[in-house]
Amino acid sequence: MLNQTIIVGHLGEDPKEFFSAEGVAVTSFDLAFQAAKKKTCWIKIVCFKSLAELCQKYLHKGAKIAISGQLDANKWTDKDGQNHTSFQIIGNSLEFIKTDGRGFKDGEATVETINEEAPF
């Protein structure tokens, strides 16, 4: 089954970096995008390995990006027995649309694309 999502939006916060138990770099952030009827919606983005490192180096709150990846659902039951579902995108390709230039050297292009498969 094909599962590919592409979304364009703005980061609502600086990326958060951490490492998995296996030492794999992981970066996550919330992305705001415009849905139907100009409604602003948010989705969590999670990136791994070199894509995670690239996000940590170049991205910042307010940056506009295009990201593609797999839509992933997390389901859980809270302590009151209520079922919940949240969605996130496991990023595997990123394109910078607009940043403040953070991390870029003079003369370096501000639009790049990188592809990275999730480690699972």
Can you give the residue ranges of every domain in the chain?
Answer: 5-110
- Per CATH, domain 5-110 is 1.10.3720.10: no
b/e per residue, 84-111, with b = 16+ CB within 10 A?
eeeebbbbbbbebeebeeeeeeeeeeee
Q: Phi first, then psi: what are they for 21, rounded to 5°?
A: -60, -25
pLDDT at 2: 83
Global pTM? 0.81
In 3D, which of 22, 7, 16 has the Cα closest to residue 120? 22
pLDDT at 112: 47
| Each residue's pLDDT expressed in tens, for the chain with a length of 120 residues | 689 999 999 999 999 999 999 999 999 999 999 988 889 999 999 999 999 999 998 899 999 999 999 999 999 999 999 999 999 999 999 998 887 766 655 545 444 455 666 565
pLDDT at 120: 55
Unique residue bearing structure tokens 């969605």: 87
The token duo for 86 is 């949240």
